Every structure is written in structure tokens, then in C-alpha cells.
A and B are shown apart, each in its own frame.
Chain A
């Protein structure tokens, strides 16, 4: 590295610093983003002695610049001379960790966490840990908030005296009088618990957890829920009941829906953390309550977890628990008043069939699927249809096809184009499951109807859908069922439909292969080069360019080339442009 410092004098620091001070924020930002280049030009020595002090002093800048700076400094270890000197980066990052703007602070903390790993144990105690302490006892809440994220990275690598200090600081921050700091502490509680020795988890963490979980602000309490899950994974089974469960039970019945929502949202993690016994005794009733919660948000969050929860139940007794405790609640949710709840349920309910097996599915679940397939809210129906594959495996899709069809048809004609778009995207999947016969009979006409939809996005998706269908059912099928209809549209009075023919050909030519393309598609495309509408003509040029590679050279030379040459002399400048482009891409010049 020493050899690389010979040409430093070329770049006086003043010039570089001028760049970092440029009046224009955008230029300043650009310079900061290339800070590593500047450091490289200066060499490690001057980066340490001149650049870093400058950066530490000019911390007052636009947040955007500070964010870039915070990020850069996390990657600066080699540029200041390696791990031996990494502590030089602490002063600027310390200032950045105290600024108001959350994104800047978070980035500074992230960089600090990163470089903490590059400190030797000694440096960690001499330089890093004091910084954490200063932040933890800062006047303004921002520095204390930042400190919360730094305890866990230095704790494992310091002496036991310092460890005790760190635990004390964390304790203090958990009872800070600003809720912002308590929230930060609560959100890092789980992470901190993981690096602590088990005895301290029991003696320190549990009391902090209990306190935060009964904070006066629900925004703090809800963060404690997540910590509770992490803590539960750390404790031996026999301690869970006394140390964690009372608090978690209380959280599941908290008066604030936000806290209950959090419990519902973290339910699967919680279930894994506490193990099968507690799940059976405690979590099942708690889950039932959440599914019946008075607030729709909570019910929706719980409904989302139904499948995962059932899946993770202990196998012995699983079916009984589901049938007697969970399924009755699920049945009620199918006719919930809130569409988000129903749609959350619809996105997972099909998954129950693999767990419950064929007979139960037919007897108990099928009626629910059918009810949801007829739901007034399109999103619910879509969610059912998009998960058909789960049922397919268990009972085969035929059981559903009678109800499926009306549901699909209705969605296919929904007034909202986004709904139509969503159902189109499931068509290839449905086609695969229902088989070619059923498809030809019932669904083919829908796929064709979408090609003339009045929304472009639908026509485009319909085109793409055709391509996927051909990939599934093969070229022969395409030739018999799709191609004639597509080509027929070339004579449509509406130029948009004529263009759809071209778009379809673009999409299909490759899947259909040379023969069909040359024999059937190419003549139509060539004929359309005489269309009155310029848009059609230049799309002919684009199509020829697209399908050119599929054709043989004879067809290219004798049929395509003359047409493109003619189009290249068209009156319309766009037609000319695309014709010329096609000629050069296909190397016909």
C-alpha cells in the first residue's frame, strides 16, 4: 500500500474539500458518494489526519448528504489503514448517530455495527464502548435511541465489568422518559437478549420485558411482543410458563387493538418459540379469540395465519384441534362483514386441505371454498382461484369446476380492469389443471374476448396469456384453435384490433415454430403493410423484425425484404424509421 502514496501531491486536500463543500447540494451529494475515491487519492494517512476531521466538523448539512456520508463510512476501514485504525471512523459516525433525521441515524448505526466487528477486543473497550455509553447518556433522545442498536454488537466481546455496565445502560434506556427511546429499546430487546448469558436473560431481560409489555403507550407494548417471541426461544421450556407466558397472555388480550394485531401477526413465530405443550393449552384458545376479535384488522391478521398455525400444530391431535377449535372460527370468518378479513382467509384457506386430507376437505372445507368463490368481493374470489393448486393435489379440481366456472366468468367480465388482469394471469395455471378439453369448451372464448378488451393492459396481458397457453398445449393446438381467430382479427374495422393481431403474432411466432409462422402468419402480416393507418404499418415493420429470426432466409429475401423496402419509403416518418430499423436488424440491406 505504501507504494500507492507517491502521487498524493497532485491532489491537494483543499481542492477535494472544495468539492465536498460545493454550493450545489446535488454536486455535494455526488462528491460524498465518491468519498472513497477522494480518500484513495489522499492516501490512508491524510484520510485519517485531514479528511476525517473535516467530515466530523461539517456535520451540519442536508440530510441527504449526511445519509450518503453515513453509508460511505461503513465501508471505510481499508481506506483509513485497516482494522488497526478503524476507530478513526468513530467520531464522524458518532455525530451522525445523533442527528434528528431517522434514516440518517439508522444508517449511522448500521455502519457503526458493521465496523464494530472490525475492532479488536481492546479497541472495542477503549474506543467503541465509550462511544456507546456517551450516546446512551446523551441529552437529546436521538443519541439514546441510536445507542439502543449498539449494545448487542459490543456485548459479546468485552470484559465482564464492561458487560455489567452495558446491561445497566440498557436497563436505564428501557425506562427512559421519552417513548421514542423506550420504543427503540423495546425493538432491540430481543436482539440484546440473544447475546446475553442465560442467567442475565432470566434476571434482567425478563423484568425489562414485563415492564415494556405493560408500558402506558401501546406503541411500546406492541414492540415488546416481538421481543417476547425472541426471548421465548432462548429460555428452557420449564421456565417459559412462569417467565414469559403471563405477559404474552396479557398481550393477546390487550385493550389496544394494535397490540393484539401484533400478537396475531407474530403468531407463527410465537408458536414455534413456545413449543407444542403451551401451544395446545394456551395458544389455541388465544388464537380462537384473535379470530373472533372485535377489530377487523386483528381478525385479518389472525386469518392470515390460519394455515401456518394449523400446519405447525403437533401432529398428534392436530386434526382434532383443527376440527373442534379452529374450523368453527374459520367458518364464521367466511361470512365476515369485512372484506379484508375474508380476503386474508381466502389467501390461505385452501392450504388447510393438505393438512386435513381428502375426506375432511370434501365434507368441511369444500363448502367454504364454494362460498368464498361466490363472495361479493372480487379479491376474495381471486385469492381462492390463485390457490387452486393446493386443492388440486388433494381432491382434484373437478370437484370445484362447476362452481369455478361461473366465478371465473364473472371475474373475467368484472368492471374493474385490474380484476380482469389478475384473472388473466391465472389462466395458464387453470388451463394446466383443468386440461385442454375443459379449457376449449369453457374458457377459450374468454381468452379470445380479452383480446378485444377496451383497456390496452388487458389486451396486452391476453396476448401474453395466449403465448403461455401455446407453450402448454403445443403448436398443433394453437394452429387449430387460436391462430385462425387471431388472424381473423386482421380484417377488423377497428385498427386497434388489427394491431392486436400483430401483437399476438409477435408473441406466438416463436412458440408456434417456423412452419405455422411462414405459412399462416407471415402472409397476413405482409398484407397488412398496406393498411391505411400508419400505426398498423409501423407495427407491421416491428412484427417483421420480431418474427424474422423464425423465418427461413428464402422467405426473408423474397417476401419480407420487398415489403420492408416499400415501407422504408412510406410517407409517415415513424413507419420509415421502424422499417429501416427492421432492415438493419435483419441484415437485409
Chain B
């Protein structure tokens, strides 16, 4: 064909067609921080003695002083300013980390508000805008938090504090309250994966130690997810939050509360619709399976939900869905399977005949799963008629020989399972197709008649048909 000649091969080397990640690889890792509003003046902190150098009774007071000093926040976007003081704060934070890990008796009641204040001053901030307008977590390098040298130590310190044997939630709950948790949750949107990792541990500890905050935390996570699904499609910490939820779900008491079931159906299932599913699919599927292991009667709504949101155009997502469905089928109870098998296998039959071979292949792999095979076998009289037409057609038509081979195996398996039905279906295949065609024709005629009618009436009385 000569028509392609109009577009000569491009020799432009700096064009916008290379993958973003390739183009970006050369740039230095970007850093950003919204933490600091420049004050212009250099910062002075008066050096304090080391905690270990003062007598034990004076330590708690010195500890408080050091916490107060660490409330000072530095500008890390300006790499040259306050170098000495930055170093001083770093070493002080390091000392505090060690101190809360090994010391005893330091945690006076006055210390709690100071610790929370220091942590809040350092970690709570409006996250900076993303470097690129359309930050794509799969393609783009994350923007790293510039103040990490301090921030990391503050997180480290806070975790040691929460885990310390002397830590008393009953005192701390006055300071670690709903507002604190809300701000903490917002930080999960940080682009810096190191920060999200620390946040995960922090939130997990708080969830574990503050019973009064649990329902609140769950509700706020709900809100974050709903906003993510229905409003913005943007939130960096979904995987981390799901990971925490995975272990929370594990601990749910039976029978499950309505609140938890609603969370499954109205939040977790819709999370499957998000474009960036691949970034948190593993954690999401884990949560779903956790729920089903707790309460098998949820299987039907879950599978129906997945079928409702089944990807129409994105093959990669379809493969993920098939993977998750197999995880679910691995734990499904036969009684639940029967309830859902018809719509389920209609979808599987569509996947099997997908022109995208990875989708077809992933679906056909179900027949390698012994448990699923046993379920199919038990219900072959229902499933075989659903699957037959697709299988029969692909065995003749699919472009990919590997798929054709797999389909032959599946057909063979069906034949062995239920040979009478199989023969019947083979015999009626042609007449069934003809019947379908006839029905299709009847449909077309019906619509033609309806349209004629609309036209006639439209002419007769203008205005009836809205335009």
C-alpha cells in the first residue's frame, strides 16, 4: 500500500512520543516541599546539653525543652540556609529517638502535649502541588519531600513514642484526637513513598491503641476513598490505606456489622472502577477476600458488583479482574457458587472469546484450577450451555494458536464431564445460531416500525417529540 507514504518516518529525536519515564530518567529527582513559608531571617537555636549528660531528675525538663526546639521548621528548598541549625536539629531529633527508645520514666504527663505539638508542627502541612500537571504514578517519578532528613526522624520518634512501654493511651487521647487523625490521613496523599510508609505504621499504631478513634478512622478512610472514586481519581496513599484496612477487616467480629458490609459494597467494590487500579489492586483484592472469608454470604453481592464494573475497554484491568475473581472462587462455598454461576459464566464466556489473547488466556487458566474445575463439573449442566457457543466459535476463529489449543483442552474437559449434553449442543449449534439471527432480524424490523411511527406522529402533531 502506498498511502502510508504521506507520513515519512520521523527522525526528530526530542519529540514527545517517547515514554515519559524514559524522558524523565535523565532529569534529577525532583524535590518539593510546601512546608515552609519563607521568613527571611536566619534561625537561631541555643544549643542544649545532651540528655545523658544531665542528672536523671533534670532529664524530663530538658526533654521538654528539646521538643520545643524541634518545633522550629526549616526551609529545605533553600539548600544553603541555616546549615548549622539544620544539623543541630537533626542530631537533637536523633537523640530524642534514642531517648524514647531506651529511657524509662521520662514520659511525664506534661510531655504528651509537647510531643504531639512537636510532631504536628513538623508533619502537618499542605502537600505541595504535583510537579507535572497530570501526575501518573505508574509513569512519573514521585516528587520527594525535601525536608525528609528531619521529617523521617520525627516520624521515627513518633512511632517509638507510640510503641514505648510507658505510653498511656488514656492520657494521649486528649491530644491525639479526631482533628489530629484527620490531618494525618490527609498526609497519605503525599507523593513520597517513604513518607506514606511511615504514615502507615503510625496510623496502624493509633488504630490499635485508641479504641475511641477506630470508628472515626474507618469513616474518614471511607470519605477519602469515595472522594477518590467519585470526585478526583487522585490520591497517592490508597494502597497504604487498604493495607491497613486488610488487617482491620481481619479483626472484625462476627456477625459483621451493617457498617462494614456497606463499606464492602459501596466503597471497596467501586474502587475497582478507578483508572489507576493497578497501583492498589493487590491490596484491594486482599481486602475483598478477607471479607468473604469472614462472611461467605457476601459472595453474591461482591461478584455481582465486579460484574457490574467489569472493564469494557481496558484489557489490563480485565486481566486484574479475572485474577481477583479466581482468588474469590478459590474460597467460594459451593452453595454460593450456584447462586452466582449464571451471570458469572456469561462474563467468563465473553472473556474467553476476547480478541485480546492475555484476557482470553487468563480466563482459560481457570480450567487449570482444580477447585474451580470441581465446581464447574458439579454444575456442568448449567455452565456448559453458557460457555459452549463461545468455545466452539473460538476453536475455529481465534487468531492466536495458543488460545485455540487451550480452548480445545477446555472443550475436551467438558466433553468428558457431560458427553450427552456436549453432543446435543454440538448438534444444535447451527440451528441455534440461525435462531439468533432470525431474532436479530425481528428486532430490527420492530425498531424500523417504531421509527416510522415516530416519523408519522411527528408530522401529524408537531411538538410531541422532544428534540
**Given that A216-B182, A415-B14, A416-B15 are contacting pairs, would A102 and B230 also be in contact in the complex, using a CB cutoff of 8 Å?**
yes
Give CA–CA (A213, B460) in the complex, Å. Answer: 56
Give CA–CA (A216, B184) in the complex, Å. Answer: 13
Give CA–CA (A102, B231) in the complex, Å. Answer: 8
- A36, CB-defined interface residue at 8 Å: yes
The residue in chain B whose Cβ has the minimal distance to the Cβ of A61 is: B308
- A101, CB-defined interface residue at 8 Å: yes
**Given that A454-B12, A538-B2, A572-B2 are contacting pairs, would A294 and B464 also be in contact in the complex, using a CB cutoff of 8 Å?**
no
Tell me how far the C-beta of A460 lies from the nearest C-beta in chain B, rounded to whole angstroms: 9
Asked if residues B457 and A456 are in contact (CB atoms below 8 Å), the reply is no
Tell me how far the C-beta of B343 lies from the nearest C-beta in chain A, rounded to whole angstroms: 10
- B405, CB-defined interface residue at 8 Å: no
Give CA–CA (A41, B447) in the complex, Å. Answer: 11
Interface of A is mostly: helix
The residue in chain B whose Cβ has the minimal distance to the Cβ of A496 is: B8
User: Across the interface, which residues of B come within 8 angstroms of A37, CB to CB?
Assistant: 447, 450-451, 453-454
Give CA–CA (A255, B451) in the complex, Å. Answer: 59
Give CA–CA (A218, B12) in the complex, Å. Answer: 44
Tell me how far the C-beta of B22 lies from the nearest C-beta in chain A, rounded to whole angstroms: 16
- Determine the interface band of chain B, counting residues with CB < 8 A from chain A: 35 or more
Asked if residues B465 and A40 are in contact (CB atoms below 8 Å), the reply is yes
- B42, CB-defined interface residue at 8 Å: no
Asked if residues B223 and A417 are in contact (CB atoms below 8 Å), the reply is no
- A455, CB-defined interface residue at 8 Å: yes
Tell me how far the C-beta of B321 lies from the nearest C-beta in chain A, rounded to whole angstroms: 15
Give CA–CA (A574, B36) in the complex, Å. Answer: 66
User: Across the interface, which residues of B come within 8 angstroms of A499, CB to CB?
Assistant: 5-6
Q: A residues 1-51 with Cβ under 8 Å of B?
A: 1, 3-4, 7, 10-11, 15, 19, 23, 27, 34, 36-38, 40-41
The residue in chain B whose Cβ has the minimal distance to the Cβ of A218 is: B126
Report the interface size for chain A: residues with CB under 8 A from the other chain. 57
Tell me how far the C-beta of B193 lies from the nearest C-beta in chain A, rounded to whole angstroms: 22
Give CA–CA (A271, B464) in the complex, Å. Answer: 47
The residue in chain B whose Cβ has the minimal distance to the Cβ of A494 is: B8
Total A-B Cβ pairs within 8 A: 118
- A170, CB-defined interface residue at 8 Å: no
Of the listed stretches A72-80, A235-243, A305-313, A382-390, chain B binds: A72-80
- B7, CB-defined interface residue at 8 Å: yes
Give CA–CA (A499, B466) in the complex, Å. Answer: 51
Tell me how far the C-beta of A77 lies from the nearest C-beta in chain B, rounded to whole angstroms: 8
User: Across the interface, which residues of B come within 8 angstroms of A1, CB to CB?
Assistant: 461, 464
- A100, CB-defined interface residue at 8 Å: yes
Q: Specify which of A23, A78, A415, A454 is in contact with B10 (CB 8 Å cutoff).
A: A454
- A141, CB-defined interface residue at 8 Å: yes
Tell me how far the C-beta of B35 lies from the nearest C-beta in chain A, rounded to whole angstroms: 10
User: Across the interface, which residues of B come within 8 angstroms of A538, CB to CB?
Assistant: 2
Give CA–CA (A76, B270) in the complex, Å. Answer: 31
Kindly supply a per-residue 1/0 record for chain A positions 399-429, scoring 1 wherever the CB is within 8 Å of any chain B CB and 0 otherwise: 0000000000000000111100000000000
Asked if residues A141 and B451 are in contact (CB atoms below 8 Å), the reply is no
The residue in chain B whose Cβ has the minimal distance to the Cβ of A101 is: B230
Task: Pick 9 A–B contacts, CB within 8 A, sort by A.
Answer: A36-B466, A38-B450, A100-B230, A100-B270, A102-B230, A216-B179, A216-B182, A257-B34, A456-B7
B residues with CB within 8 A of A: 1-3, 5-8, 10-16, 34, 36-38, 126, 128-129, 179, 182, 223, 226-227, 230-231, 266, 270, 308, 346, 443, 446-447, 449-451, 453-454, 457, 460-461, 463-466
